[in-house]
Amino acid sequence: MKIVAICGSHRKGNTEWMLKKLLERAAENGAEVELILLRKANIKTCLGCLACEGDGNIRSGVCKIKDDMKEIYPRLLAADCLVFGTPVYFDMLSGLLKNFMDRTCAVWPKLKSKPVAGVAVAEEGIGQAVRNLQSYAGICSMPWVGSVTGLAKAPGEIAKDKNVTRRLLKLADKIMEIKKD
């Protein structure tokens, strides 16, 4: 089981802590895990050119932007399960994660059937953020495994919430139960 988590926070904060906790548990249970920190990656915004769609008959599947997505695409495709993590910004997923999703335009049909889970953290309320992640999963025909949400503001504050930790471990175990093709 190879799990790739994508962190959409601009800081080493609560989202990152949650994803690391989940991955740590999965790794203890034998998973190969990887955390992609979007804040450290050079990922330009989607140009909306649709060059990745090709000429309408043959899908090119290639994004013409030269940046870190080039080496991230194969890692996404090699994963057995993806986990998206986002801080809640104005009741939605972060712009960092949304731009990453936009840039998957080149490969999204190939993500079909790949299970996906999500974590989200907000100061007061999760708003639409988990639904945003589920919408992406739905469009890509990726089965939704589940989500963990929590409330925190300062970086690392979420670690104090034992209920969140318990649910993260449970979600990690649920991912490990997924049968590989």
Interface size with ligand FMN, residues (CB under 6 A) = 19
The pattern of x and - marking residues 11 through 40 that bind ligand FMN according to CB under 6 A reads x-xxx-------------------------
Cβ neighbours of residue 74 under 8 Å, at least 6 residues apart?
A: none
- Taking CB under 6 A as the criterion, the residue among 91, 149, 169, 174 binding ligand FMN is 91
Find out whether 93 and 15 touch, Cβ atoms under 8 Å.
Answer: no
Distance CA 20, CA 52 (A): 32
**Alpha-carbon dihedral 171, 174, 179, 181, rounded to 10 degrees:** -10
Residue 119's H or E segment, with its range, is strand 116-122
CB of 51 or CB of 151, closer to ligand FMN: 151
Distance CA 179, CA 48 (A): 36
18: helix, coil or strand? Answer: helix
Q: Does residue 173 interact with ligand FMN by CB under 6 A?
A: no
- Specify the stretch interacting with ligand FMN by CB under 6 A; choose among 58-66, 70-78, 81-89, 167-175: 81-89
CB of 126 to ligand FMN, least distance (A): 7
Distance CA 92, CA 69 (A): 23
CB of 16 or CB of 107, closer to ligand FMN: 16
CB of 43 or CB of 52, closer to ligand FMN: 43
Q: Does residue 153 interact with ligand FMN by CB under 6 A?
A: yes
Binding site for ligand FMN (CB under 6 A): 9, 11, 13-15, 87-91, 121-125, 127, 152-153, 155
